[in-house]
Amino acid sequence: MTGAAGDVQASRVVFETAPDRYRHWRVALDGPVAVLTMDVTEDGGLRGGYELKLNSYDLGVDIELYDAVQRLRFEHPEVRAVVITSAKDKVFSAGANIRMLAAAEHAWKVNFCKFTNETRNGIEDATACSGQTYIAAVNGTASGGGYELALACEHILLIDDRSATVSLPELPLLGVLPGTGGLTRVTDKRHVRRDLADYFSTRPEGLGGSKAVAWRLVDEAVPRSAWGETVAARAAEFAARSSRPVGATGIELAPLSKTRSDETVTYGHVSARLDHGRGVAEITISGPSQRPPADAAGIREQAAGFWPLAMTRELDDLVLDLRTNEGELGTWILRTEGDPALVLDYDRLLLASQGDWLVNEIIQYLKRTLKRLDVTSRSLLALVEPGSCFAGSLLELALAADRSYMLAGVFEDEDPGADPAVIAVGEMNLGPLPMGNGLTRLQTRFAGDPDALAAAEKHARQLLQAEDAERAGLVTFAPDDIDWAEEVRLAVEERSSFSPDALTGMEANYRFAGPETMETKIFGRLTAWQNWIFNRPNASGPDGALRRYGTGRRADFDRKRV
């Protein structure tokens, strides 16, 4: 199974894949409509010890889904509606594989849920921002994560055959939550009344037919006789409303050039040094090395080689790799190198060509990748040094960081003649790359301080040296050469000495100041509760519900409410 999605090489999970290697999904293209058919290979689990029956899934299945969603956006501009359906008889999807969950260690469960959540958010993002509307053609029972996948779609058709239902059986059967956005989407997206949602989520057999429609759990229940026709009609209707261009040609998401060892990860524009002794990953993102093309046509020509896209793909892959495979690297140091003016030039080109479908995809992808960073349970420290290019879209990295340190002046011993580091706010920081809470990172940073926000925005396109950047509140600290090494060393060492759990909790709170959205509620409220439940003996203990599932023995609960 070399090269299959999520293949574990040297026990590392690999996130890069391609359609010709899919084992669990089929992609069928028919003009404006794509059909993603889930057909999970039972013995194709990413790890041993469980069978992926009934279209249940593990991380490997979801890695393929993520890849498919990404490729539809970039490689198939002609696609305007995407139907997700199942190849199994009477079953849409049984959700996350329970034996996999029961056997998995806590960190694996949590990371798995995070990625699946991000993939489902990505499906909604494609619907909202790409003109590719996802439709769930639920042609058999959809339980748990199976229904949650449908919930991520804009429109849910359920086959009305007296047996197919949708359900969230996690609570009654497994003693955990529907953790892939289910609870949040049921009330906040589909507006199911909370008491009906409560009943629904305690009923393992679920609901189907007209009742599922009346309760808003699905949009329509369709008899088998009219199924194919109705799904096709709905897909055509959504496709007709799309803003996707006619006659455009996609670009290929060519394989990443990646070198991976225990100590380093290297791509074309992104690299990381993994320091297991200190528990640190030192990540460097290189800015563009040449001037941008003149226009959208030039971008299409460069295709996957166009710097913003290439860099984003590499960063995305690195984040996923480190999150999954390097749990003990608790601190990520973010550096950039290159010409800030060039970064701003690329940003300007992107924003001037936003109407172009490909440019839009690139911006949206960068947005999603930065969001991935926001919900990453690692401490993020940005170091702004001479030769760096934290400007515009790359300034977002510093704004996403928990703290940033910017050198005032230069390293006198190393390179006394260097230009001092500068940062620059650009148009890209003022709207196109919102966080999950719907605000820009600048707005979140200056939440409740409109004067500081206005001042920072007024600096747009100015190259700010450390003192000015600190004064504007754009960096946390601006030590000079004398203090730099000691201050940064202390910050990193200190971070590594703290409780990893407490850091995760603190960062999850501080990174999302201000309003909440469905997305932040999924990662904050829902995920935090699920993590707590996963960690409790009632779920994961030897007598807990997750472990006991399928043994014929009921879980032994500590009945005390907490």
Hey, which residues between 159 and 178 contact a copy of itself (CB under 8 A)?
A: 170-172, 174-177
Which residue, 57 or 200, has its beta carbon nearer to a copy of itself?
200
Integer angstrom CA distances of residue 141 from 240, 314, 320:
29, 37, 31
User: Binding mask 127-166 vs a copy of itself (x if CB under 8 A, - otherwise)?
Assistant: ----------------------------------------
How many residues make contact with a copy of itself (CB under 8 A)? 90
> Of 496-555, which residues contact a copy of itself (CB under 8 A)?
496, 498-516, 521, 524-526, 528-533, 535-536, 538-539, 545, 555
- The owner of tokens 């899919």 is 22
| Region 88-117 residues binding a copy of itself, contact defined as CB under 8 A | 106-107, 110-111
Query: What is the helix (H) or strand (E) element at residue 30, kind and residue range?
Result: strand 25-30
Q: Which is nearer to a copy of itself, 55 or 184 (CB)?
A: 184
Question: Minimum distance between the CB of residue 144 and a copy of itself, rounded to whole angstroms?
Answer: 13
Among candidate residues 525, 521, 532, 520, the one with its CA nearest the CA of residue 176: 532
Decide if 106 contacts 534 (C-beta within 8 A).
Answer: yes
> Is residue 24 near a copy of itself by the rule CB under 8 A?
no
Cα–Cα nearest to 84, from 96, 67, 97, 69: 69
Whole-angstrom Cα distance, residue 65 to residue 351? 29
How far is CA 513 from each of CA 435, 440, 520, 544, rounded to the nearest angstrom?
11, 11, 11, 35
Q: Percent helix, strand and coil across the chain, each rounded to 5?
A: 45, 15, 40
Q: By CB under 8 A, what part of segment 193-222 binds a copy of itself?
A: 193-199, 201-202
C-alpha–C-alpha distance, residues 530 and 302, integer Å: 43
CB of 450 to a copy of itself, least distance (A): 10
Q: Which is nearer to a copy of itself, 188 or 480 (CB)?
A: 188
By CB under 8 A, the residues from 383 to 402 that bind a copy of itself are 401-402
Nearer to a copy of itself by Cβ, of 37 and 187: the residue is 187
Span interacting with a copy of itself, options 79-87, 134-142, 179-187, 352-360, rule CB under 8 A = 179-187
Contacts of 544 (CB under 8 A, 6+ apart): 175, 536, 537, 538, 555, 556
Interaction residues for a copy of itself, span 329-368 (CB under 8 A): 329-330
Interacting positions 42-71 with a copy of itself (CB under 8 A): none
Q: How far is the CB of 320 from a copy of itself (least distance, A)?
A: 14
CA distance 216 to 220: 9
Binding mask 264-283 for a copy of itself (x = CB under 8 A): ---------------x----
* Residue 411 or 557 with smaller CB distance to a copy of itself: 557
For tokens 């959700």, name the residue: 95
Using CB under 8 A, pick the residue from 18, 445, 455, 460 that binds a copy of itself: 445
Per the CB < 8 A criterion, the answer to whether 78 and 32 are in contact is: yes
Measured from the CB atom, the residue of 420 and 514 that comes closer to a copy of itself is 514
Of 347, 335, 342, give the one whose Cα is nearest residue 386: 335
Work out which of 495, 519, 547, 549 binds a copy of itself, going by CB under 8 A. 495
Choose between 294 and 559: whose C-beta lies nearer to a copy of itself.
559
Q: Name the minimum Å distance from CB 501 to a copy of itself.
A: 5
- Considering beta carbons, is residue 237 or 558 the nearer one to a copy of itself? 558
What's the closest the beta carbon of residue 438 comes to a copy of itself, in angstroms?
11
Q: Which of 23, 260, 335, 378 binds a copy of itself (CB under 8 A)?
A: 378
Opening angle at CA 143, ends 138 and 144, nearest 5 = 125
| Choice between 164 and 425, CB closer to a copy of itself | 425
For a copy of itself, the closer of residues 231 and 474 by Cβ is 474
262 binds a copy of itself, rule: CB under 8 A: no
183 binds a copy of itself (CB under 8 A): yes
The nearer residue to a copy of itself, 186 or 296, going by C-beta atoms, is 186
Nearest to 206 by CA among 148, 121, 154: 148
State in angstroms the smallest separation of the CB of 154 from a copy of itself: 15
Cβ 335 vs Cβ 274: under 8 Å: no
Q: Exposure string (b/e) for 538-550, b if CB count within 10 Å is 16 or more?
A: bbbbeebbbbbbe
Among 20, 89, 328, 451, binds a copy of itself (CB under 8 A): 328
Among residues 363, 362, 246, 370, the alpha carbon closest in space to that of 302 is found at: 362
Round to whole Å and give the CA distance between 170 and 161: 24
Residue from 30, 301, 412, 449 binding a copy of itself (CB under 8 A): 449
Of 92, 115, 446, 549, the one binding a copy of itself by CB under 8 A: 446
Task: Please say which residue, 122 or 182, places its beta carbon nearer to a copy of itself.
Answer: 182
Candidates 95-103, 191-199, 303-311, 421-429; binding stretch for a copy of itself (CB under 8 A)? 191-199
146 versus 181: smaller Cβ distance to a copy of itself = 181
The span from the CA of 379 to the CA of 321, in Å, is 16
CB 424 within 8 A of CB 376: no
Q: Which of 403, 434, 480, 481 binds a copy of itself (CB under 8 A)?
A: 403
Number of H helices, E strands in the chain: 22, 22
Which strand ranges, in their side-by-side order, compose the sheet holding 166-167? 91-93, 141-143, 166-167
